[in-house]
């Protein structure tokens, strides 16, 4: 497996985890915040599918989703759900950041787009969670 | 006899000094590469990260001007300025040489608008342009630099988000 494929496989594993995590977060949120969860979940599902196709085409066995993932902390209310959403996007951004450095050409473009998207979503969730500052210097 | 000895020592010291200066210059220009005897190779031209660093510094300066023009926005804008300065520091580590001192003939940056809405809109446009340039640099860079440039592009994108 090339370093690029390995990084994309790690990104796929992170996307699986993010989709699971948003399922948990969505159960504790409502209204606009729930709509934002659903939208984020759709974006992560689309990335997961694109990665699956790409890795399969490169003859790399895509890592499967786990039936469940350990949460970084118990999520029992809306505040916890928002903190979880921040965490999911931060983790996803970190994995995509690594992929940016491990890939080139079209794959790097895909990784860069995903990094920017995750960083912006993390910022939106920090705003929703009342975290200040809502940005970090090196997402 | 005595005079000859003195001259010899002074020549020796002069030689040592050149060697030490050569070594120091070589250390500062680590990325430029050095030959076996410590002489720096001819500079390979400006580092391609130089414009990204200059832009990060220019963005930090824009925020400093904005904070001076609208102190009420300081709490909101200071972390964004700090992020750009952090980018300058990170890029300096990778480039390996300190930023060139600002040229005295450089035009002062345009005066910041004092109306908060106009001020934020102008910063947002700067961040948007900065985000695009960092993305372009990221896609053209070797892998070990691309991750940092991608992160800088992502940071600028988040600044656009909080200025909106």
Q: Is B154–A139 a contact, with Cβ atoms under 8 angstroms apart?
A: yes
Return the pLDDT at B45: 84
Q: Is A138–B90 a contact, with Cβ atoms under 8 angstroms apart?
A: yes
Residue B136 structural domain: 50-163
CATH topology of domain A3-129: Ferritin (1.20.1260)
Q: Could you tell me if B77 and B14 lie in one domain?
A: no
| Model confidence band, residue B36 (pLDDT cutoffs 50, 70, 90) | low
Nearest residue to B81 via CA among B94, B96, B70, B97: B70
Cβ–Cβ contact A34 with B under 8 A: no
Rounded CA-CA distance B129/B124 in Å is 9
Q: Could you tell me if B156 and B80 lie in one domain?
A: yes
Cβ–Cβ contact A2 with B under 8 A: no
Rounded CA-CA distance A17/A88 in Å is 8
Q: Is A138–B151 a contact, with Cβ atoms under 8 angstroms apart?
A: yes
Q: Domain segments of chain A: what residues?
A: 3-129
Task: Give the residue-averaged pLDDT of B115-120.
Answer: 93
Q: Could you tell me if B111 and B140 lie in one domain?
A: yes
Q: Could you tell me if B59 and B38 lie in one domain?
A: no
Q: How many domains does chain B have?
A: 2
Nearest residue to A89 via CA among A32, A136, A30: A136
- Using an 8 Å CB-CB cutoff, list chain A residues near B80: 133, 135
Return the pLDDT at B26: 41
CA nearest A105 in B: which residue?
A: B139
Whether B127 shows a pLDDT value over 80: the answer reads: yes
Q: Could you tell me if B13 and B38 lie in one domain?
A: yes
CB distance B75 to B66 below 8 Å: no
- The complex scores an ipTM of 0.96
Between the CA of residue A97 and those of A56, B61, B115, what are the distances in Å? 22, 27, 37
Nearest residue to B37 via CA among B22, B52, B17, B27: B22
pLDDT in tens, B49-90: 999 999 999 999 999 999 999 999 999 999 999 999 999 999
Q: Could you tell me if B57 and B39 lie in one domain?
A: no
Q: Is B146–A137 a contact, with Cβ atoms under 8 angstroms apart?
A: no
Rounded CA-CA distance B149/B136 in Å is 9
Q: Which of B85, B86, B131, B158 to mutate to test the interface with A (most CBs of A within 10 A)?
A: B158
Whether B143 shows a pLDDT value over 50: the answer reads: yes
Q: Could you tell me if B31 and B76 lie in one domain?
A: no
Entry pTM? 0.84
Handedness of CA A91, A121, A100, A20 (dihedral sign): positive
Write out residues in chain A with pLDDT < 70, as ranges.
none
Q: Is A135–B159 a contact, with Cβ atoms under 8 angstroms apart?
A: yes
Q: Is B154–A101 a contact, with Cβ atoms under 8 angstroms apart?
A: no
Contacts made by residues B29-32, CB under 8 angstroms, sequence distance 24+: B29/B96, B29/B97, B30/B96, B31/B95, B31/B96, B31/B97, B32/B96
Whether B107 shows a pLDDT value over 60: the answer reads: no
Q: Is A138–B152 a contact, with Cβ atoms under 8 angstroms apart?
A: yes
Instruction: Give contacts of B 5-64 with A, CB under 8 A.
Output: none
């Amino acid at each position: 497996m090339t370093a690029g494929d390995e990084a994309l496989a790690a990104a796929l594993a992170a996307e699986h985890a993010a989709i699971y995590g948003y399922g948990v977060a969505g159960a504790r949120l409502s209204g606009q915040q729930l709509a934002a969860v659903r939208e984020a979940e759709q974006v992560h599902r689309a990335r997961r599918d694109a990665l699956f196709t790409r890795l399969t085409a490169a003859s790399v066995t895509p890592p499967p989703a786990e039936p469940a993932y350990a949460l970084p902390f118990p999520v029992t209310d809306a505040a916890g759900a928002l903190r979880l959403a921040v965490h999911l996007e931060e983790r996803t951004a970190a994995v995509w950041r690594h992929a940016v450095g491990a890939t080139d050409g079209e794959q790097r473009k895909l990784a860069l787009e995903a990094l920017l998207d995750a960083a912006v979503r993390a910022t939106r969730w920090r705003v929703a969670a009342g975290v200040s500052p809502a940005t970090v210097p090196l997402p | 006899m005595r005079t000859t000895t003195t001259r010899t020592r002074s020549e020796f010291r002069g030689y040592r000094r050149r060697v030490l200066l050569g070594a120091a210059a070589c250390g500062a220009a680590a990325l430029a590469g050095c030959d076996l005897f410590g002489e720096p190779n001819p500079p390979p031209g400006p580092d391609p990260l130089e414009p990204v660093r200059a832009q990060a510094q220019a963005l930090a300066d824009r925020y400093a001007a904005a904070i001076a023009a609208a102190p009420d926005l300081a709490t909101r804008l200071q972390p964004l300025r700090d992020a750009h300065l952090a980018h300058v520091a990170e890029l300096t580590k990778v480039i390996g040489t300190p930023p060139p001192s600002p040229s005295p003939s450089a035009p002062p940056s345009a005066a910041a608008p004092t109306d908060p809405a106009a001020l934020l809109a102008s910063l947002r446009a700067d961040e948007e342009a900065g985000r695009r340039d960092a993305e372009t640099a990221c896609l053209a860079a070797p892998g070990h630099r691309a991750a940092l440039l991608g992160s800088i592009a992502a940071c600028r994108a988040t600044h656009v988000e909080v200025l909106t």
